[in-house]
Amino acid sequence: MEVPKEVDFINYNNLNNLIIFGGIMVRSTGVTRAQKDSEIILSWLTNKQSIHTQRQYRYIIQHFLEFTGTDLAEISVEDIQDYIKSLKLREQKISTIKAKLMVIKSLFSYCLKTGYLLLNPSVLVNNPKVNDTISQKLLSALDVKRLMSHTDNLRDKLLIRVMFGLGLRVSEAINLTWVDFSIDDEKVNLTIVGKGNKPRTVLVNPSLWQELQGLRKEGIDYLFTVAKRNTPMKRNTAHNMLKRVGKKAGLGDSLSCHWLRHSHATEAIKGGCDLSLLQQSLGHSSITTTQRYLCLRKNEGSGTYVDI
């Protein structure tokens, strides 16, 4: 069968989902029962493990579709490009724009794979280049100690220490429960189910483990709770706390919880941690993601290790 020119960008693994009717290529049922955009979007979102991710992706796609004012099948390359331009005009950060475009690309890719759409216009839209600003979001161990000394209670102090000391994402830290910890041969291990529902195990410093015992309350499963209830802290609560504490500590109010994860990685490398172990501890799928921390060591160079 000769494929019409207008479907050059079809994923040819999906040709079984296409039929020719009256000389026109149309979609068959494919591997999805979805018959309208709302149904395929719901199917796509269901594959996302995190409720937070589902909500965030739903909001981004809803905003994108409101901007285009058309169905997924009618969206063109120019529609997506115009959307990106509108985000730039609103002075959104390049990193934010790139993240939104990746969500749009994910949806179109899913629609193509399931046979819901014949074309994926998003593959022709280039990702905006993001300047690496991680080096501007680093805290030293001394900075972190200053943060902890300006907290109002033990919960906030230990949340900061856990995110920095273990390199956890804020969502991972606030959802920690006591059953996530295990002691094997006098070593304390913490099992994390992270991004993409991928489990990993990190080693907990004995002094941190001892200090965490101060958070234990009878009948309470979570370490970092709201008041005396068995309810974990909210992400916004953690972020707002860090901004407030950062301002009090003289570090500004632009800090975010992810800065602590970045800082953990750079401090670990400076201390001699090898990349493969750091990748395992952070839960990165690819070591390429971990390697970006290699270039963030200011005021250092290999020349200082060579004497002639």
Domains (ranges, CATH) in the chain?
Answer: 5-124 (1.10.150.130), 135-297 (1.10.443.10)
Question: Which residue reads 């285009």 in tokens?
Answer: 68
Per-residue pLDDT of 196-227, as tens digits, reads 778 899 999 999 999 999 999 988 999 999 87
235 is catalytic: no
Is a pLDDT exceeding 60 seen at residue 298?
A: no
293 is catalytic: yes
pLDDT value of position 300: 59
27 is catalytic: no
Report the alpha-carbon distance of residue 249 to residue 241 in Å, rounded: 12
User: Nearest CA to 167 among 260, 246, 255, 233?
Assistant: 260
Instruction: State the pLDDT confidence band at 279, using cuts at 50, 70 and 90.
Output: confident
Are 162 and 262 spatial neighbours (Cβ–Cβ below 8 Å)?
no
155 is catalytic: no
- pTM, whole model, 2 decimals? 0.61
Structure tokens given for 107: 């949806």
Active-site choice (83, 110, 116, 293) = 293
Are 59 and 68 spatial neighbours (Cβ–Cβ below 8 Å)?
no
Active-site choice (150, 157, 169, 262) = 169
Active-site choice (239, 244, 258, 270) = 258
**How far is the CA of 163 from the CAs of 140, 151, 171, 175, 258, in angstroms?**
13, 15, 10, 12, 8
Phi then psi for residue 19, to 5 deg, are: -135, 155
Non-local (6+) Cβ contacts of 137 within 8 A are: 256, 258, 259, 262, 263
258 is catalytic: yes
Report the alpha-carbon distance of residue 306 to residue 308 in Å, rounded: 7
Active-site choice (150, 157, 161, 284) = 284
Give the lowest-confidence range in 168-172, 188-192, 195-199.
195-199
Report the alpha-carbon distance of residue 278 to residue 290 in Å, rounded: 7
Instruction: State the pLDDT confidence band at 154, using cuts at 50, 70 and 90.
Output: very high
Structure tokens given for 287: 């070591």
Residue length, the chain? 308
Active-site choice (98, 105, 195, 248) = 195
pLDDT value of position 302: 52
- What's the start-to-end Cα distance of the chain, in Å? 70
State the SS3 of the chain: CCCCHHHCCCCHHHHHHEEEECCEEEECCCCCCCCCHHHHHHHHHHCCCCHHHHHHHHHHHHHHHHHHCCCHHHCCHHHHHHHHHHHHHCCCCHHHHHHHHHHHHHHHHHHHHHCCCCCCHHHHCCCCCCCCCHHHHCCCHHHHHHHHHCCCCHHHHHHHHHHHHHCCCHHHHHCCEHHHEEEECCEEEEEEECHHHCEEEEEECHHHHHHHHHHCCCCCCECCECCCCCCECCHHHHHHHHHHHHHHCCCCCCCCHHHHHHHHHHHHHHCCCCHHHHHHHHCCCCHHHHHHHHHCCCCCCHHHHCCC
Give the lowest-confidence range in 34-43, 158-167, 188-197.
188-197
Active-site choice (100, 150, 261, 262) = 261
Is a pLDDT exceeding 80 seen at residue 30?
A: no
Residue 260 burial by Cβ neighbours in a 10 Å radius (0-12, 13-18, 19+): buried
Structure tokens given for 4: 């019409």
pLDDT value of position 244: 94
AA letter at 284: H
